[in-house]
Amino acid sequence: MVAPEPAGAPPPPARRNAKIAELAPERTLRRLELSVTRRLDGLLNGEHLGLIPGPGTELAEARLYQPGEDDVRHMDWAVTARTTTPHVRDIIADHELEAWALVDITPSMDFGTADRVKRELAVAALAAVGFLTVRLGDRVGAYLLHNDGLRRWPARTGKANLYRLLHTVLDTPSGDERHPHAPRPDGLTTGLTSLHRGQTRRGLRVVISDFLDTTTDAATPPAWERPLRRLATRHQVLAVEIIDPRELDLPDIGLVEMTDPETGAVHEIVLNKRVRKAYAEAAAAQRLRTREALRRCGAHHLVLRTDRDWIADIARFALRQRRAAGRPVSAGTAAPGGPA
């Protein structure tokens, strides 16, 4: 007889792997490409634009200049002056790009009324970026934001590291059990600031969150806008906003008891026509405020919903990015709305 699993225990490895395989089928993700269009430190097989002209950024040995073959921009003037013979400095190709993600796993991300909760969709988004990154040999790291603070996951290469990261995002509690409803209104702001200060090398930065905050004034910019703008001045930033349909509109079901997952506050609300209309207007204003703030920051904005096919949404986003960058769309790329 098999004993039942204790409440709150993490699922066994086989079940976790199956869950991740369901959320992020790798063969499908390999057909997508999230283009990195900003100039980066490294150059990998023509996939990334180099910050410095040439095949890389690391200096190697000096050698004699070959007229007609060498680029005069690589002349080593110090060696040339010392030897009175033209020399060039070879450059070692830099084959690694560091992609860092800030993943919001606060209590609001454990909410979901459709096919999955928002945290599971965050894992899917992280897997989409991660699989495409490790396929090119780049490193993937993450900052995990929960109510107890910020956890840093070091950047490493390989799918084994990526799977461990995905498991961690799925299994990590959203807050300390002794203080399950400790509010962290500045959590996303703190996470963005830590990511900007801790990782200075140019690369891809992905922010996965529902971007909910405590500000109710539509004219007031979100608290996270300023640190995100600083982050986007140096890096390519992709903001993945995850939403649930019940966060946009409420059903007509009368008296309900609602709990704020971030603070634990409980309220009884009658969902009549007037309340539902006011809620829908406030939700639309909040989404507009988030969208405009991300646009002002210069971040690419991808919206994923728990009631939609997230693979098709990523495919549409990837195609828009390729067209915006003036790059051709390959025949193997999944068509928007088509089979992935």
**Per-residue pLDDT reduced to its tens digit, 208-234:** 999 987 666 667 889 899 999 999 998
Alpha helices in 185-224 (DSSP H): 187-198
Cα 251 from Cα 306, distance rounded (Å): 17
- Same domain for 75 and 170, yes or no, is no
> For residue 172, what are the domain limits?
97-324
- Same domain for 200 and 241, yes or no, is yes
Q: How far is CA 276 from the centre of its chain?
A: 32
Mean pLDDT computed over 14-21: 63
Range name among 3-17, 57-71, 273-287, 315-329 with the lowest pLDDT average: 3-17
How does pLDDT run across 266-324, given as a tens digit for each residue? 888 888 888 888 888 988 999 999 999 999 999 999 999 999 988 888 888 887 877 76
In 3-state terms the chain splits into helix, strand, coil percentages (rounded to 5) of 35, 20, 40
**What are the residues whose beta carbons fall under 8 Å from the beta carbon of 304, sequence distance 6 or more?**
121, 124, 125, 240, 241, 242, 243, 310, 313, 314
- Same domain for 126 and 77, yes or no, is no
- Same domain for 126 and 230, yes or no, is yes
CATH number of the domain residue 300 falls in: 3.40.50.410
Q: What domain count does the chain have?
A: 2
Cα 60 from Cα 43, distance rounded (Å): 16
238 and 36 Cβ atoms separated by less than 8 Å: no
Token pair recorded at residue 159: 């799918």
| Residue that finishes a domain, picked among 66, 92, 118 | 92
| Alpha carbon separation from 28 to 25, 55, 307 (Å, rounded) | 6, 31, 19
Mean pLDDT computed over 315-334: 64
Please state, for a pLDDT cut of 70, what percent of the chain lies above it. Answer: 69
Amino acid 77 reads W
**What are the residues whose beta carbons fall under 8 Å from the beta carbon of 177, sequence distance 6 or more?**
none
pTM of the model: 0.72
| Residue that finishes a domain, picked among 74, 92, 110 | 92
Q: How far is CA 63 from the centre of its chain?
A: 43
